[in-house]
Amino acid sequence: MNYADWLKRKGLEYKDKVLYFAGQSTLNLIKTYGTPIYVTNEQIIRERYRSLKELLSRVYMKNDIHYAVKANSNLSLLKILNSEGASFDCTSRGEIYICLKAGISSDKIIYTGNMFTDEDFTFAVKNNILVNLDSVSQLKRLVLVYDRLGKEKETISFRINPEFGAGHHKHTVTAGKDIKFGILEEQAVEAYRKAKESGFKRFGIHQHIGSGIINALDFANPVEKYISIVKKLIETLDIEFEFIDFGGGLGIPYRPDEEPLDLSDYEKYVVEPFVELLSKGGRSNITIKIEPGRFLVAESTILLTQINTIKNNGFKLFAGIDAGFNTLIRPVLYNSYHHIIPCDLKEKGNEFEYDIVGPICESGDVLGKERKLKELKEKDNLAILDTGAYGYVMSSPYNSRPRPAEILINENSIYEIRHAETLEDLINAQKVPEHLK
Ligand code: LLP
């Protein structure tokens, strides 16, 4: 894919040397809203959702896309996806709470937590949320909660660890022998047998092998293993699954020279084996589910920043911006690459190599290492791309820097969907004991 097309798929283009995003001049956005600021393009989210929905529905009608809320839990994004007909995957009470506040109905939510507390179970059961258990030991406690609340046990699901994982970084691989998630093949029969005995009537099954998978072939082994486990459960326990969920993990091209995930390969290595299992076995009443987070929202958002300081330490050039790892932690935490481009394109002048650094008091606060850019100046603006997934949600007020605002562009309208935190927000939750007042 050439560079202009790569930018275009993310809603970006240069017009008269100014970077436009979702049809808006980034320089005008900065003038109105300041920096740093997360800017989201509603249409990209809708396009990504539709492309996946179309793919799934072409091969198998009974499908649900559960958006992984952990990627970005802004109310407006949830409402956009809800309006497209998405379902949702939540990992905490907080995410469920936000979904319900966004008007999402409880039957569209699956609760894939881990290390669940009794309070988590109580919250889920009270709100009629389907729980996807992460350990056989949790079943007993969940049953107690159902009984205590006098609620009918309906559907239960377990997360399987198929022992093969993948991901863009070892922290994002979520299946394998030293991984905390899910239950292993040999525990699965026991888990579903116990669930049946406990009075659950309907069953689902789930796996999620990791995050940021750009080569669909990486899914092949885990899918094969998972399918063999599903078959074994059907044969041994005569279980009628209501749904089979094969998780998220679909990657996006963060680098200009990276090809996007090949959706026809995803269809071949991931979707088709399940479809074959279900159609061969005469089980076409079973729903297949996937749980993408990043694929749906990462490319919908850019982070606009301003350069405050250009500095040469004698060895290296630094461009110091007003966003640091408090604003976007992925480069520091996973060594992740986020493409960084000027809002104001300079065609003349020399190219230099910069480390793009934030204002956090740590040397590790580098958002872009050794980036070659035309000479930068203080007060220039830079856009950090693909920040819609695991961007704002992983930000923090570290160094007592309030979190930034978020805005949404839909066609020609611009909305503030979260205002920037203020200095007061930094102390609002704190209490000072009497003797220190
Ligand atoms: N389902 C489950 C059960 C998950 O744990 C996750 C992500 C997803 C779905 C969605 O994965 P996705 O489609 O977005 O790859 N903070 C890391 C990513 C951690 C993902 C954790 N689980 C990052 O910034 O790359």
User: Does 94 fall in a domain?
Assistant: no
User: Does 107 fall in a domain?
Assistant: no
Identify which of 208, 254, 334, 338 to mutate to test ligand 1's pocket (most ligand atoms within 8 A of the CB). 208
Domain that holds residue 246: 112-292
CA 303–ligand 1 middle distance (angstroms): 20
Among the candidates 249, 271, 292, a domain finishes at 292
Domain shared by 215 and 304, yes or no: no
User: Does 386 fall in a domain?
Assistant: yes
Instruction: Report the pocket of ligand 1 as residue ranges, CB < 6 Å.
Output: 68, 70-71, 89, 112, 172, 174, 208, 211-212, 247-250, 291-295, 330, 334, 389-390
**Closest residue (by CA) to atom 7 of ligand 1?**
211
Q: What is the pTM of this model?
A: 0.97
Are residues 261 and 251 in contact, defined by beta-carbon separation less than 8 angstroms?
yes
Catalytic residue among 90, 99, 343, 361: 361
- Please give the tally of structural domains in the chain: 2
Q: What angle do CA 296, 297, 303 make, to 5 degrees?
A: 160
Q: Is 361 a catalytic residue?
A: yes
Rounded distance between C-alpha atoms, residue 392 and residue 403, angstroms: 8
Query: In b/e form, how buried is each residue of 389-410, taking b as 16+ CB within 10 angstroms?
Result: bbbbbbbeeeeebebbbbbbbe
DSSP string, 117-183: -HHHHHHHHHTTPEEEES-THHHHHHHHHHHHHTPPP-EEEEEB--S----SSGGGB--STT--SSB
Please classify residue 420 by burial: count the beta carbons closer than 10 Å to its beta carbon, then call 0-12 exposed, 13-18 middle and 19+ buried: middle
Q: Which residues of the chain have pLDDT under 50?
A: none
Domain shared by 162 and 251, yes or no: yes
Rounded distance between C-alpha atoms, residue 311 and residue 306, angstroms: 15
List Cα–Cα distances, 230 to 99, 197, 383, in angstroms: 30, 19, 45
User: Does 229 fall in a domain?
Assistant: yes
What is residue 58's predicted lDDT score, i.e. its pLDDT?
95
Domain shared by 256 and 204, yes or no: yes
Q: Which two tokens stand for residue 399?
A: 């160094």
Among the candidates 265, 292, 319, a domain finishes at 292
Return left, alpha or beta for 386; rule: phi > 0 is left, psi -120 to 50 is alpha, else beta.
left
Domain shared by 151 and 282, yes or no: yes
Domain shared by 276 and 317, yes or no: no
Identify which of 171, 211, 254 to mutate to test ligand 1's pocket (most ligand atoms within 8 A of the CB). 211
Rounded distance between C-alpha atoms, residue 337 and residue 330, angstroms: 8
Rounded distance between C-alpha atoms, residue 345 and residue 376, angstroms: 10
User: Does 307 fall in a domain?
Assistant: yes
Rounded distance between C-alpha atoms, residue 5 and residue 419, angstroms: 32
Q: Which helix H or strand E contains 232, and what residues bound it?
A: helix 220-237
Domain shared by 251 and 122, yes or no: yes
Domain shared by 132 and 255, yes or no: yes
Please classify residue 78 by burial: count the beta carbons closer than 10 Å to its beta carbon, then call 0-12 exposed, 13-18 middle and 19+ buried: buried
Rounded distance between C-alpha atoms, residue 159 and residue 181, angstroms: 8
Among the candidates 244, 265, 292, a domain finishes at 292
Domain shared by 274 and 204, yes or no: yes
Going by their DSSP bridges, the two strands 18-21 and 12-15 should be labelled as: antiparallel
User: Does 387 fall in a domain?
Assistant: yes
Domain shared by 37 and 178, yes or no: no
pLDDT in tens, 373-423: 999 999 999 999 999 999 999 999 999 999 999 999 999 999 999 999 999
Is omega for the bond preceding 292 within 30 degrees of 0, making it cis?
Answer: no
User: Does 79 fall in a domain?
Assistant: no
Domain shared by 303 and 288, yes or no: no
Domain shared by 336 and 245, yes or no: no
CATH of the domain at 318: 2.40.37.10
Task: Name beta bridge partners: 37.
Answer: 304, 405
Domain shared by 380 and 417, yes or no: yes
Q: In what order do the strands lie in the sheet with 18-21?
A: 12-15, 18-21, 24-25
CATH of the domain at 227: 3.20.20.10
Nearest to 123, CA basis, from 99, 82, 94? 94
Q: Which two tokens stand for residue 186?
A: 């040999």
User: Does 35 fall in a domain?
Assistant: yes
